[in-house]
Structure 1
Amino acid sequence: MKVTFPHMGNQYVATKILLEELGVDIVVPAECNQEALNIGTQHSPESICLPLKVNIGNYMKGFKEGADTIVLTGSCGPCRFGYYSILQKEILKDMGYDDIKVILLDPPQGDYKNFIDSVTELAQTKNPYKILRALKKAIQILYEVDALEEATHYKRPRQKQKGLVDRYYDQFHKDVRKVYGYKETSRVIEKARQDILNIEEEPNREILKIGIIGEIYTVIEPFVNLNIEKKLGDMGIEVHRSLKISHWLTEHLFLSPLNLTMEGKTRKAAEPYIKTMIGGHARETVGHGVRYAQEGFDGIIQIYPFTCMPEIVAQSILPKVETDYNTPYLCLIVDEMTGEAGFNTRIEAFTDLLQRRKELRHNEKLLSGN
């Protein structure tokens, strides 16, 4: 068995560790790119959401290098992500990949049996110690790589020499693919994080803060969101991302089956607008939007794939949040037809608005003597 998996932001680093620690032969997927999107678009239903199309293209490199098995996570609630494993298998069959095995790691939702069976099939061992040890190391790597990303979000708008953050971050992605196992991977992550944190900052630079909310794949995967975090950082804006893979995994793998949650504050913030889970991350999108507004962020950007129903519901609610908290809100919808020039224009116009608002508020304070 040779395993590949979808690419989503830095998730590949932790998945690589999980499978390496289990002794599974793997093909690490290439970064998402236009070629992968073109392949997926050609073979997928036109109206299906963008992540599935990119996933299909992702798998091609793995198949060329001998992969015969795909591992992916499942979902819960009314979201098409929960059908990806079935639909992708049918698409791949139509493409001539009849013998590809799909191992689905569904969130347990109170019943760990199916989850354990899937992990056992993937690991090809029933040794619980080996499985738990590998899972623990993978989760630790997730938290470490999320901390690295947070360092890039903080330093990019403040760096004195433009481009240094991306130089270290790009080098990290090259280095992490070359190493094997938890210790070496952790060392590479920490070195990159320290290099970025040690970058000299431009003193007294005015920094705007924007919260990024929306569907998890488009929020996390830079190819799909057209590198929005880098674009904003280069404009002098500190980005805060509402969704992190480490938190998602902890929430759905460990806490949710026990009726516990890390999202209590977020759900409470969303209650005046949406009281229940309707699928995807709609409630979290609204809740995080409210919390960003309450915390005084300069603006909020929602990003999601075209036809994503949970996010469409959230989009209909967020203008009310914008009005209630006087916090500017921008919605960006992406699909295979999204043009980067128009995308950039909307971001630039939005950030110009935020900068102007901040200047006006500053001038008002000066005039009032406060």
Structure 2
Amino acid sequence: MSLELKEKKANNKKERIISFPRMGHLSIPVSAMLRSMGANVLLAPSNNTETLNYGTRHSYETVCLPYKLNLGNYIQALDAGANVLLMFNAPGTCRLGNYARMAEATLIDLGYDFEMVIFDMYKGKLVEISRKFAQAMGKKVSFTKILYGIRLGFAKFDALDVIERKLFYTRPREIKPGAAEIIYKAGIRAIDSATTIQEVKDIVDITIEKYDSIPIDNNKDVLKVYLTGEFFVLLDQFTNMEIEKELGLLGVEVERQIMLSDWTNGVLLPKWIHKRESHRERAFRVANNYIKRAIGGECMESIGDTVYAAQANIDGVVHIGPFNCNPEIVSQCILPHVSRKENIPVISLVIDEHQGKAGFVTRLEAFVDLMYRRKRAKITA
């Protein structure tokens, strides 16, 4: 037997320890799917400054921030003992489609020994996920386990969004600041620990009851804004510097236009399952006067969300994206025209590894002041 074949067999016998990039609370449902199928999952730390430093050190300067964080996640996971990495390759013209291969080549150059398992969304959705989960674990998994794992994961996706939407509503109205945040974090931990779908549903009900017990000021003049932009920056609290929390503390109710379950349901589930117009479908419909075709990323959604916000009498739109993200650069160029024509305030915030939180919050405060003055002027008129 050749030495190469012996090494290959030895590697196949090694315990397979799976990891994947962090993005907000994505790790909770994804790890639930994998563990319910019998996988050994090792999570890198939540995104932090060290993660970003690792990724920035080994990336070329102009690549967008999500890639740098993904690469930093992989390095931290491999250093902790992971040997199987997951990533997906999605359709579209965003550079996301190249992330997996770029990271794989970089990590090999750095001397890491691992297997990269890429979920190719061009080849299907749930079937591709099932197949690649089995590949990552290095063994056959029964259809029953795969189906239950996916159902549990999707239940957690939905649950996380339900309690987060309630947080967005309660935070700017609560009389004692921070009360809703405590309940939210407890709900997150409970959902993470849940092992059955019924347990997840019960946790949501209990969490909503706790929210409803918080004293709130129903007469408070609360602004409402749509938060839109590139999905990674929207969904990752470290990357967006907790923008929803900062706005909430300023008395603003946030309606984030891309939630975890919206994104996964749109990407992973067949169209015939959707019972109502999806976020992406709505965006294409209402953005048609400003842009005629998708150019990748969330460009269409950013423009469509802004038009729809004006139609819904929302007070303003906060648009965020990573530095040098081509689709968001395009939407950022179109949004001032949309703002004037639709008569709605819009602020675009670009985020990279050099962004400071103080300046970021100052811009939000100024935008909130502008919206309050505009609202009062409308009432007076």
TM-score, structure 2 normalization: 0.89
Which residue number in structure 2 is paired with residue 83 of structure 1?
98
Which residue number in structure 1 is paired with residue 248 of structure 2?
233
Where 1:28 maps in the other structure, the secondary structure is coil
Contact 1:108 1:253 in 2 (8 A): no
Looking at structure 2, the residues matched to 29 and 319 of structure 1 have their Cα atoms a distance apart, in angstroms, of 39
Contact 1:108 1:252 in 2 (8 A): no
Taking a change above 3 Å as real, the CA distance of residues 273 and 227 of structure 1, as seen in their structure-2 partners, is: same
Where 2:270 maps in the other structure, the secondary structure is helix
Which residue number in structure 1 is paired with residue 117 of structure 2?
103
Structure 2 residue ranges without an equivalent (≥5): 1-15
| Counterpart among 306, 312, 315 of residue 289 in structure 1 | 306
Which residue number in structure 2 is paired with residue 146 of structure 1?
161
Taking a change above 3 Å as real, the CA distance of residues 197 and 111 of structure 1, as seen in their structure-2 partners, is: closer
Deviations 1:19-45 (A, max 9, x none): 111110111332211111111111111
Where 1:36 maps in the other structure, the secondary structure is helix
| Counterpart among 16, 37, 43 of residue 31 in structure 2 | 16
| Counterpart among 289, 296, 303 of residue 279 in structure 1 | 296
Q: Name the amino acid aligned to 2:219.
A: N
Where 1:161 maps in the other structure, the secondary structure is coil
Contact 1:20 1:180 in 2 (8 A): no
Say how many residue pairs are matched: 363
TM-score, structure 1 normalization: 0.91
Cα offset, 1:184, TM superposition:
4.9
Which residue number in structure 1 is paired with residue 354 of structure 2?
337
Which residue number in structure 2 is paired with residue 218 of structure 1?
233
Cα offset, 1:188, TM superposition:
4.4
Aligned positions of 1:138-177 closer than 5 A: 138-177=153-192
Contact 1:155 1:201 in 2 (8 A): yes
Deviations 1:229-261 (A, max 9, x none): 000001110001111221222212223599997
Where 1:35 maps in the other structure, the secondary structure is helix
Taking a change above 3 Å as real, the CA distance of residues 44 and 151 of structure 1, as seen in their structure-2 partners, is: same
Q: Name the amino acid aligned to 2:372.
A: Q
Contact 2:286 2:308 in 1 (8 A): yes
Contact 1:151 1:197 in 2 (8 A): no
Which residue number in structure 2 is paired with residue 352 of structure 1?
369
Taking a change above 3 Å as real, the CA distance of residues 176 and 247 of structure 1, as seen in their structure-2 partners, is: closer
Looking at structure 1, the residues matched to 170 and 110 of structure 2 have their Cα atoms a distance apart, in angstroms, of 44
Is 2:142 the partner of 1:127? yes
Cα offset, 1:112, TM superposition:
7.0
Percent identity of equivalent pairs: 32
Which residue number in structure 2 is paired with residue 368 of structure 1?
none
Taking a change above 3 Å as real, the CA distance of residues 135 and 112 of structure 1, as seen in their structure-2 partners, is: closer
Looking at structure 1, the residues matched to 59 and 198 of structure 2 have their Cα atoms a distance apart, in angstroms, of 39
Deviations 1:83-136 (A, max 9, x none): 111011122223321x22121223246587655432331353242232122112
